[in-house]
Amino acid sequence: MTTPRVRVAHLTTVDSSLRYLLHPQLTAVRDRGGDIAGISAPGPYADALTAEGIRHLPLGASTRSMNPLADLRAAVELWRVLRRERPDVLHTHNPKPGLYGRVVGRLAGVPVVVNTCHGLYATDTDPWPKRAVVLALEALAARFSDAELVQSEEDLDLLVRWHASPRRRTHLLGNGVDLRRFRPDVLAPAERAEVRARDIGARADQVVVGMVGRQVAEKGLIELFEAARDLGDRYVVVVVGPDDPDKPDALDRATIRAAAEDGVRFLGMRDDVDRLYGAMDLFVLPSWREGFPRAAMEAAASGLPVVATDVRGCRQVVEHGETGLLVPVRDAGALAAAIRALGEDAARRAHMGAAAVARAHAHFDERRVVDIVIDTYRTVAERKGLTGVVAALDAPAAAQPTAAR
């Protein structure tokens, strides 16, 4: 008897999220013999996804920018895609696709609709009207899903406490990274020296401070640039990550140029970020808001102490005083002081780096996250009597060669 194939579609804004953030969840379905598709705006990663057996379904109107008319067009376009493709499972991801995607998925008759909250777009310091709007929109969209997966413990508590997400359908997902790829020994000493000199332009006696993220203000880059000016020549600040011109807080060319003139090194989007972590001495993430920051987890797994802001998400990665330091949001002086405190104490960096690796192996394994996602699909399908979907999800995963990422 032939096992039926489960059809799963993930909805995101851009294809880079499919390629870099959700890749293990996509291949988990593929490896079970399922039909897996990623729905997003067209982009440069669609061909790479297709080459790995992951179909890409373009959503032409999808955009990161604040454009309600484009979002409405994207919702209509999504309805047509879902009616044509007829997936068994639609898995949406916030911010915007998580809102309209849940509603459209239910209206289009998708049997199982699951959403992942990667981080609420409201913080404790935001005005009440903004927080109320964010929670109200989440509450509306959550009524159209079968399960809500939340990466951050603090976000989950807030959603449930304010009845924005039904308690019985809301579960902690956490977040994880590939611990086989991100590890302290990724570079031999000679390779580390070569990468520092060739890619970063750092001398052997300099402290390399790295940050990985999009070039937008909410990542705390303005504060990092200010801190870099205070740190002096002993420190080299490196920023890895793409432009994000569609975001309203995207950094302008003049700001980037001024920071570069002050000595900040911009490496752009890189596929070898694991090797770059191996060349750093410590990692910083001065974000104003985070869900459950992947880059900080990657850095921790790579053996780096992390200096991050004291916000939701970052607090789940960094144990203050043990695996790194937490500093106030938008405080460049405190950021510079924390960087200097670790930069001038190699023994403390080594101790914190070892503790960060131990914490990563205990809490940040992406395989556990994938298991929770697949089990969520299975649980909802069982509850709804979708025996074919359950049987397909229970199929053993085939051994696959590890793809270059």
When pLDDT is averaged across residues 310-329 and rounded to a whole number, the result is 96
Instruction: Give the whole-angstrom CA distance, residue 22 versus residue 18.
Output: 5
* pLDDT of 247: 83
**Which of 47-56, 61-70, 169-178, 325-334 is least confident?**
61-70
**Which of 110-114, 130-134, 166-170, 362-366 is least confident?**
130-134
Contact between 90 and 11 under an 8 Å Cβ cutoff? The reply is yes
When pLDDT is averaged across residues 95-115 and rounded to a whole number, the result is 97
The domain made up of 7-176+365-393 has a fold known as Rossmann fold (3.40.50)
Please enumerate in sequence order all residues whose Cβ is within 8 A of that of 63, keeping only pairs 6 or more positions apart, or say none. 13, 41, 70, 71, 74, 246
* pLDDT of 246: 78
The DSSP bridge partners found for residue 160 are none
Question: Which carries the bigger pLDDT value, residue 343 or residue 402?
Answer: 343
Burial (CB count within 10 angstroms: exposed 0-12, middle 13-18, buried 19+), residue 322: middle
Q: Give which of 276, 285, 346 is closest to 311, Cα–Cα.
A: 285
Please enumerate in sequence order all residues whose Cβ is within 8 A of that of 11, keeping only pairs 6 or more positions apart, or say none. 39, 40, 59, 78, 90, 91, 92, 93, 97, 101, 105
Across the beta sheet with 282-285, the strand order is 265-268, 235-240, 207-212, 282-285, 306-309, 324-327
* pLDDT of 217: 96
* C-beta atoms surrounding 333 within 10 Å: 13
Tokens linked to 30: 């593929």
Residue 300 has pLDDT above 70, yes or no: yes
Instruction: Give the whole-angstrom CA distance, residue 262 versus residue 17.
Output: 31
Instruction: Give the whole-angstrom CA distance, residue 164 versus residue 15.
Output: 28
**pTM (2 d.p.):** 0.89
* pLDDT of 248: 86
Residue 404 has pLDDT above 70, yes or no: no
pLDDT band for 403, please (50, 70, 90 cuts): very low
**Which of 123-137, 257-271, 284-298 is least confident?**
123-137
Contact between 43 and 17 under an 8 Å Cβ cutoff? The reply is no
* Coil, helix or strand at residue 108: coil
The mean of the pLDDT values for the chain is 94
* pLDDT of 1: 53
Give the CA angle between residues 383, 156, 361 to the nearest 5°: 95
* Beta-strand pair 306-309/7-11: unpaired
When pLDDT is averaged across residues 171-194 and rounded to a whole number, the result is 97
**Structure-derived torsion over alpha carbons of residues 324, 22, 373, 54, reported in degrees to the nearest 10:** -160
Residue 115 phi/psi, 5-degree rounding, is -125, 145
Q: Is the dihedral of CA 274, 280, 281, 286 positive or negative?
A: negative
Please enumerate in sequence order all residues whose Cβ is within 8 A of that of 389, keeping only pairs 6 or more positions apart, or say none. 4, 6, 88, 89, 111, 112, 377, 378, 381
* pLDDT of 237: 98
pLDDT band for 323, please (50, 70, 90 cuts): very high
Residue 310 has pLDDT above 80, yes or no: yes
The domain ranges of the chain are 7-176+365-393, 189-363
Residue 373 has pLDDT above 70, yes or no: yes
pLDDT band for 2, please (50, 70, 90 cuts): low
Domains 7-176+365-393 and 189-363 share a fold: yes
Question: Which carries the bigger pLDDT value, residue 263 or residue 402?
Answer: 263
pLDDT band for 126, please (50, 70, 90 cuts): confident
pLDDT single digits (tens) 235-273: 999 999 998 887 889 999 999 999 999 999 999 999 999
Instruction: Give the whole-angstrom CA distance, residue 217 versus residue 14.
Output: 19
Burial (CB count within 10 angstroms: exposed 0-12, middle 13-18, buried 19+), residue 310: middle
* Beta-strand pair 7-11/235-240: unpaired
pLDDT band for 165, please (50, 70, 90 cuts): very high
pLDDT band for 396, please (50, 70, 90 cuts): confident
Instruction: Give the whole-angstrom CA distance, residue 363 versus residue 145.
Output: 27
* C-beta atoms surrounding 257 within 10 Å: 11
The domain made up of 189-363 has a fold known as Rossmann fold (3.40.50)
* Beta-strand pair 207-212/170-172: unpaired
* pLDDT of 401: 45
Contact between 201 and 181 under an 8 Å Cβ cutoff? The reply is no
Residue 226 has pLDDT above 50, yes or no: yes
